[in-house]
Amino acid sequence: MSETPTFGFDTLQIHAGSKPDPATGARQTPIYQSTAFVFRDADHAAALFNLQEVGFIYSRLTNPTVAVLQERIATLEGGVGAVCCSSGHAAQIMALFPLMGPGCNVVASTRLYGGTVTQFSQTIKRFGWSAKFVDFDDPAAVAEAIDDNTRAVFGESIANPGGYVTDIRSIADVADAAGVPLIIDNTSATPYLCNPIAHGATLVVHSTTKYLTGNGTVTGGVVVDSGTFDWSANDKFPSLSQPEPAYHGLKFHETFGGLAFTFHGIAIGLRDLGMTMNPQAAHYTLMGIETLSLRMERHCENARTVASWLEQDERVDYVTYAGLPSSPYYERGQQHYPKGTGGLFTFAVRGGYDACVKLVNALEIFSHVANLGDTRSLIIHSASTTHRQLTPEQQEAAGAGPNVVRISIGIENADDLIADLDQALAKATA
């Protein structure tokens, strides 16, 4: 018997999870725009609701189009399963939901997207959860922050907005020693540049809105399960290790093993939180992923070119791109992210806050939007927008000070992007 072939990334991003539609032969995954699905009979319905059989019930829980996307992303990330949901923020709550409880905390990186900092520092308090923010460049500080009530460690592979790269393995070692899962947001890197699970992460989350879809059309999120964590090793994770009353005492980890977290995410998380991805959004994201490797290569190539030009410009104080030899993260980036360090970074404009505002208003090719990971180049002044709710100290810690703009480099001609920045900088610093 021949062994199952191992396919490359470029093949998997097109084929993983999908087959020709059995009813019509359609080669592209159809949009199953249906709320509910007919049961074969009463026994079939009962088996589905008892989690004794896998299938489609209701699109808040499972949908054939979304299921293909879940399998494709899980395959690219090296996970055993995935749960798609309505946004990246939804994915973060979905990831924490089975782990946390009143009085529990998550240890999080100081270098996170501003919306995540707000979600963790403010919103999750309403659930009785809390967050401790620590510099992930200091694994010892991360270890010190973990206490008996810590249920997860959370960071970003390539941090938004500054493009800083995380040494995932060192943080994973700290989390492993403490017996808690490491959750890595891999939105900025994508599985093409980084596989956090291969570096020790337990769970991976994405805003699929960004690079995975890549065209700025739909919002979405996903939680990918490595399948490697022992949820029954202690009593910290009763949602996964102890009897679940809603399923007649079923124990998720005992019953589903490595897929426990994935099944819980669907059977409990989507059932009760309802943060569902719609099938049309899944379809757009599937089409985007088909070209992920091609786009990421161009994003990285353009980012290196533009960042190098900005670094030499006297109107710019500094550039944070980890792909520059001058970056303190350059060696780490070369070691852990050999295909590139993404298309996202910041730069500081001489003239401060006012110059940044003039810059974003003067650009013509760059779009001034609160998004990243598009084929188009994007810019935003984080201190006045995405990080506006944070204190000045939090803004600085996140790399989003008042003199800083974040740019997401697209796949246009790099010379055109440089020319646009040149004319806008001239107006901003005149």
Instruction: Report the percent of the chain where pLDDT is more than 90.
Output: 90
Which pLDDT does position 5 carry in this prediction? 65
pLDDT tens readout for residues 109-162: 999 988 899 999 999 999 999 999 999 999 999 999 999 999 999 999 999 888
Total structural domains within the chain: 2
Rounded distance, CA 244 to CA 224, Å?
Answer: 22
Rounded distance, CA 4 to CA 15, Å?
Answer: 15
Please say if the pLDDT value at position 100 is more than 60: yes
251 located within any domain: yes
401 DSSP β-pair partners = none
179 located within any domain: yes
pLDDT tens readout for residues 364-389: 999 999 999 999 999 999 888 777 77
Same domain, yes or no, for 142 and 161? yes
What mean pLDDT do residues 22-46 have? 94
Please say if the pLDDT value at position 102 is more than 60: yes
| Contact assessment for residue 300 and residue 323, using Cβ atoms and an 8 Å cutoff | yes
Rounded distance, CA 329 to CA 332, Å?
Answer: 5
For residue 351, the domain's CATH number is 3.90.1150.10
175 located within any domain: yes
The domain boundary residue, chosen from 288, 323, 352? 288
Same domain, yes or no, for 267 and 402? no
What mean pLDDT do residues 245-258 have? 96
190 located within any domain: yes
Which pLDDT does position 162 carry in this prediction? 83
For residue 144, the domain's CATH number is 3.40.640.10
Among 412, 405, 406, 382, CA closest to 395: 382
Question: pTM of whole model > 0.85?
Answer: yes
Name the phi and psi angles at 202, rounded to 5: -85, -45
Confidence of residue 1 (pLDDT cuts 50, 70, 90): very low
- The residue range of the domain holding 383 is 292-428
